[in-house]
Amino acid sequence: MVIESKGMLLSTKEASERLDVSARRVRELAAKGTLESVGDGSRLYVTEESVRRFQSRIRRPGRLFSPRIAFAALYVLSGEEPGWLKAAEKYRLKRKLCMMDVPRLLELCSRRASTHDFWCRDSRLNRVSQSIRISSATGGLAEKFDLTESANVEGYIPEEVLPDLITWAKLRSDFRPTNVRLHVTSFTPPGEGHMPIGVCAADLTESLDVRERSAGERMIGRLLERFKQVIAAKE
């Protein structure tokens, strides 16, 4: 059986040895979309590239941001107002952002959602994109990152809505190549339209594509630097 994938594939045993975790943990990470996986009957394989990416993000001591705080941080960097935060929370968050570098920011915001990849018929892609808050480099957003626009769809959806979307759109997690990436979250910021540029950039930094990942990291770096300059000018 031919398995379509980007790069070398590792068995769950090989991945568990590299990550120093159990095979069960590898399967959990694959189910969450943290590790890119493909199936071959009853066997599960993960891409070597996604294992390397996960290794580079093994977190330092300290609590990660909850989804509502993670989104707030990325909204603030985008110049958007996180209206769901109290004034004291917003003040503390801004002080923390002033002391962060890009890797730490991305690490703290990494639990804003779980990621799931699906295959969808092309005829249903437009409706799927209208049912989520698009992000990353979906559609016209690609231009903001100097990337080439593709037909793939990526965005955010509340966890309680996911089952219905999978059903009516007939999304398949066992088909490759996938063309829909959903970020499933327990907290969805209020609003319509695409996600702010900071959220889009953070999503791109998790891409397995080198160009997309680099574009996301550059944008996050610019946003964070601009934010620090604005805060410094006010003090």
Show contacts of 222-231: CB within 8 Å, 24+ apart.
Answer: 223/77, 223/78, 223/197, 223/198, 224/77, 224/97, 224/100, 224/101, 224/102, 224/105, 227/76, 227/77, 227/97, 227/98, 228/97, 228/98, 231/94, 231/98
Q: Which two tokens stand for residue 21?
A: 């975790």
At 23 the pLDDT is 85
How much is the pLDDT for 31? 82
Q: What is the DSSP string of 56-80?
A: HTPPPSSPPPPHHHHHHHHHHHTT-
Q: How confident is the model at residue 7, as a pLDDT? A: 63
Report whether 169 contacts 160 (CB < 8 A): no
Q: How far is Cα 62 from Cα 18, in angstroms, rounded to an integer? A: 24
What are the DSSP E strand ranges found in the chain?
9-11, 37-40, 43-47, 114-118, 133-134, 153-158, 180-185
| Backbone angles phi and psi of 185, in degrees to 5 | -130, 150
CB atoms within 10 A of CB 63: 9
pLDDT in tens, the chain (235 residues): 223 445 688 888 888 888 878 888 888 888 877 888 887 667 888 888 788 777 766 655 568 899 999 999 999 999 999 999 999 999 999 999 999 999 999 999 999 998 889 999 999 999 999 999 999 999 999 999 999 998 999 999 999 999 999 999 999 988 888 899 999 999 999 999 999 999 999 999 988 788 999 999 999 999 999 999 999 988 7
Within 13 Å and on the Cβ side, how many CA atoms surround 79? 7
Question: DSSP 3-state assignment of 181?
Answer: strand
Give the contacts of 1 (CB within 8 A, at least 6 positions apart).
40, 41
**How many secondary structure helices (H) and strands (E) does the chain include?**
10, 7
pTM of the model: 0.79
